[in-house]
Amino acid sequence: MSHLDPTVSGTVTAYLSGPAVGEIERPAQPYANVSATSSEIRGNAAGDILEKRTIIRTTDGKTLVKGGLKSELYEAGTEISLGISVEWARNSISLYRFDLTFNIDYWQNNNPADPRTRLNGTATCTGLQSN
């Protein structure tokens, strides 16, 4: 798809939402490209996000997830609430990556109101987790 014109490129707002999402870093700018001819639209989009978290296990068996790489702050033995202290803490990094191509063909069925759409995409999450 080297012939595409980059028509959309810029800041993309939150991909990940919800409580306790870790600190997020984008190793490269996400992008979306679209090109159009009289009969079809083609495009692709891709991006990746690194999420940095600290996984903490406390002496009552609970697992806590904190944003950022902070395992040094939570050394084993650090008291975090009444009678409860840190048993174990590790930094954890997850990589979310997506890659999508699409093609919308208006004349496939000789009917512009009935375009044929093809989507091809992958999304992966890889990470370093421990137990």
Partner 1 sequence: MVQPHVQVFNPIKMTKHILSTFVLFVIWQGTYGQVSAPYLSMSLEAKDNKARWQPMHKMPAGDFILEWLKSGDILVSYNRNEAPTKYLKETNFSSKELQKLDKKISGFSLKGIYLDPEQPPEFYYVIYFNPKMKNSILLELHALLGNVVSATYYSDKKINPFQNRIYSTLK
Q: Determine which residue in the list 43, 47, 53, 74 makes contact with partner 1, applying CB under 8 A.
A: 53
Of the candidates 28, 27, 29, 88, the residue with the CA atom closest to the CA atom of residue 57: 88
Residues in the chain: 131
22 makes contact with partner 1 (CB under 8 A):
yes
- For the bound state, the minimum distance from the C-beta of residue 23 to partner 1, rounded and expressed in Å, comes to 12
Q: Determine which residue in the list 23, 40, 48, 87 makes contact with partner 1, applying CB under 8 A.
A: 87
| Beta bridge partners of residue 24, listed in sequence order | 51
- For the bound state, the minimum distance from the C-beta of residue 46 to partner 1, rounded and expressed in Å, comes to 21
Of the candidates 47, 48, 45, the residue with the CA atom closest to the CA atom of residue 100: 45
62 makes contact with partner 1 (CB under 8 A):
yes
Number of Cβ atoms within 10 Å of the Cβ of 54: 21
Separation between Cα atoms, residue 69 and residue 72, nearest integer Å: 8
- For the bound state, the minimum distance from the C-beta of residue 47 to partner 1, rounded and expressed in Å, comes to 18
Piece of the chain touching partner 1 by CB under 8 A; list 5-13, 37-45, 97-105, 123-131: 123-131
Q: Which two tokens stand for residue 42?
A: 């083609």
Q: Which residues bind partner 1 (CB under 8 A)?
A: 18-22, 53, 55, 57-63, 65, 81-85, 87-88, 90, 94, 125, 127-131
